[in-house]
Structure 1
Amino acid sequence: MIRDSDKQRPHERLEVWRDAMSLVESIYRITASFPDSERLGLSMQLRRAAVSVPSNIAEGAARRSRPEYLRFLSMARGSLAEISTQHEIARRLGYLTDNATDTDLLDRTFARLNALIRSLGSSPRAVSETPALHESQFSNPESHA
């Protein structure tokens, strides 16, 4: 008998990916209420950064080497930092009310992503400071690629 978890792709089993997907939904909902003048500005920037987070987590999980996986997780973390900054800009401009749910979800996603990066044996800073990581002999145990 095939379990549901056996049908899932590697990234779909990750809680951080699920949180990132919820964050995308949240960002799309809140940016829908932004002024029309922001349709191609801050709204689009927030949406692109939000979509980038689960996309990079998924792409990293599909990679065969740990350094590649960590590189994509580092990019996801950078996109989370963009969202955090852009969310604060939107709040300061009065486009957002103080919504603790959004910031809680953002904080939880950051924490889970950092934990995943640490569990793979590297700090987020070390990953971002070494952009040209060499292929590792260690395969990504989460990858089916």
Structure 2
Amino acid sequence: MSFKFEKLIIWQDSMNFGENIFQMTHGFPKDELYNLTSQIRRAADSIALNISEGSILQSNAEFKRFLGYSIRSIAEVVTCLYKAKNRKYLSEAQFLEIYNFAYKIMNHIIAFRNKLT
């Protein structure tokens, strides 16, 4: 047995993305714990959370709305990534790796959302 969302590649990728963000933020300064660290972690976790919540007992229109929330959360993560890079918490290489993963997930979610009727 499994939940419907567990089979979705967008959910699986979003789960991995959230874990990558969590690990990455261990290197952030302690004085950012309740600011940038918390914000980027919550936004990254929100991507998968909205996919799973929207997929259960929802109409396609409602599911599309939740997928929109996931996309917005990706935008929030990307903005936090820029802040982390500007504050020198991330190297350019780290930034680009995570940024590209975020971009890939966003495009997959958009494509999936566009296929829902």
Could you state the TM-score of these two structures normalised by the residue count of structure 2? 0.93
Match of 1:94 in 2: 88
- 1:29 equivalent in alignment to 2:33: no
- Which ranges of structure 2 fall in alignment gaps of 5 or more residues? none
Note if contact 1:63-1:69 (Cα within 8 Å) is conserved in structure 2: no
Taking only the aligned residue pairs, the percentage that are identical comes to 31
Matched position secondary structure for 1:53 = helix
Query: 1 CA distance for matches of 2:38 and 2:67?
Result: 22
Rg (Cα) greater in structure: 1
Which structure is higher in helix share?
2
Deviations 1:20-69 (A, max 9, x none): 00110111011110001101000000001011100000011113311111
Match of 1:84 in 2: 78
Q: Which deviates further from its counterpart, 56-65 or 97-106?
A: 97-106
Query: 2 CA distance for matches of 1:105 and 1:15?
Result: 13
The CA deviation at 1:88 is: 0.9
Query: What amino acid sits opposite 1:37 in the alignment?
Result: D
Instruction: Say which structure, 1 or 2, has more relative contact order (CA 8 Å, 6+ apart).
Output: 1
Match of 1:52 in 2: 46
How many matched pairs?
115
- Which ranges of structure 1 fall in alignment gaps of 5 or more residues? 1-6, 122-145
Deviations 1:111-133 (A, max 9, x none): 11011111114xxxxxxxxxxxx
Query: 1 CA distance for matches of 2:57 and 2:105?
Result: 21
The CA deviation at 1:103 is: 1.9
Q: Which deviates further from its counterpart, 60-69 or 46-55?
A: 60-69
Query: 1 CA distance for matches of 2:57 and 2:82?
Result: 33
Listed as ranges, the matches of 1:1-145 within 5 Å are 7-98=1-92, 99=94, 100-121=96-117
User: What RMSD in Å do the two structures reach over aligned CA positions?
Assistant: 1.1
Instruction: Name segments (4+ residues, structure 1) moved above 2 Å.
Output: none
